[in-house]
Amino acid sequence: MATLKPMPVATKISAPFWQALKENQLKIQQCNSCDGWVFYPRNHCTHCFAHDLQWKQISGEGVLYSYTLTRIPTMPEFSDEMPQALAVVELAQGVRINTTLIDVAEQDITIGMAVKPVFDKVSIDGETLLRFTSTENVGGVRDYIDPLKDLTRNDQGQVQVPVSNLTALSALADNKFTDWSNQIVVDQALINAFAELSGDDYWLHTDPERAKKESPFKTTIAHGSLVQVLQSRLTIALPFEIIGFKTMVNYGSNRLRFPAPVPAGSTIYGRSKVQDISVSHKGVQLTLEVHIHVVGSDKPSVINDLVILYR
């Protein structure tokens, strides 16, 4: 399960820092030439400029160097954290880290107060952010809490997610496909009917004899648009139901591809996964990545990033 909030992107230089956080450790670099401590991650020492840095685990204890309280979220995804105590912590090693101060009442925040790290798990995959709190509080690991766990389910067993619950919505984007749908046979009669309806009667779709001789597929194939349209006849069992909206519209597709042909007579089925959740002035957009395959083929015949808009 994911988070809607933008996450740091690990680079080749910073990857050890983020990996250590996932393992509930705080590691920063120390120079082997002058023993100076370095943060943020770099290729060279900021004290003597030597390219001889080593990652070392530290306790993370330090003091609050500076902070500011934000009461208006810069993005809707941060509304659940207001007010935020954005802080700069000076570690015992002398380096400073930009972070967030948590579990401390506003009136208790003072410059110079002693703080310690909190390893905040923000996804089921173990993504971890470094926060700080007062040394009087419990630090250590803040476990990830599944925002879908306590939501109700409908008669079909789908978890019901209010469109206003952004945290729960973001947890739907877990990169896991649904089970396969029902199956549909795409025969020549169906292809011909679509050709008549659409006006696309290209021989590759409608002339089996010519296709047998001249087509690289040795048979007619279904129109890519036909296979896409058949998505509406595939019953893909989503594990969730979005509730609490006034309108829901098919907003279009961010991507539509036809990677593999569907030969006449093939049986197709489909599956999907939530690719992304985004929020804008238009409403909440859910991007559903739909794959349609010929049964037995690993390569999809259609990939459709379908965007659904809730208001």
119 CB contacts (<8 Å, ≥6 apart)?
21, 24, 128, 130, 140, 141, 142
90 in a domain, yes or no? Answer: yes
Residues 6+ apart with CB under 8 A from 128: 18, 21, 22, 24, 119, 120, 121, 122
pLDDT at 3: 58
What's the order of all strands across the beta sheet hosting 37-38? 37-38, 26-31, 53-58
Question: Closest by alpha carbon to 127, among 177, 171, 79, 75?
Answer: 171
Residues 285 and 164 occupy one common structural domain: yes
Single-letter code of the amino acid located at 305: D
134's enclosing H/E stretch is strand 128-134
- Token duo for residue 126: 């173990």
φ/ψ of 30, rounded to 5, equals -130, 140
Q: Are residues 98 and 166 in the same domain?
A: no
Is position 267 within any domain? yes
pLDDT at 280: 82
Residues of the chain with pLDDT under 70: 1-5, 76-77
Total domain count, the chain = 2
Predicted local confidence at residue 270, as pLDDT: 98
Which among 307, 242, 233 is positioned nearest to 275, based on CA atoms? 307
Residues 93 and 170 in one domain: no
Query: For residue 78, is it left (φ>0), alpha (ψ between -120 and 50) or beta?
Result: alpha
The answer to whether residue 150 sits within a structural domain is: no
Are 174 and 303 in a shared domain?
Answer: yes
pTM across the whole model: 0.69
Q: Are 236 and 288 in contact (CB under 8 A)?
A: no
Q: Is residue 59 part of a domain?
A: yes
**Predicted local distance difference test score (pLDDT) of residue 1:** 44
Instruction: Indicate whether 298 belongs to any domain.
Output: yes
- Same domain for 135 and 275, yes or no, is no
User: Is residue 147 situated within a structural domain?
Assistant: no
Residue 60 structural domain: 15-140
pLDDT digits (tens, 9 = 90+) for 129-183: 999 999 998 878 998 888 888 999 999 999 999 999 988 898 888 878 999 999 9
Cβ-Cβ contacts under 8 Å for 96 (sequence gap 6 or more): 39, 65, 88, 89, 90
> Are 239 and 178 a contacting pair, CB within 8 Å?
yes
Instruction: Choose one of 79, 111, 140: the last residue of a domain.
Output: 140
Domain boundary at 80, 108, 140, which?
140
| Amino acid 58: pLDDT | 97
Same domain for 290 and 251? yes
Residue 51 placed within a domain = yes
Do 169 and 302 reside in the same domain of the chain?
yes
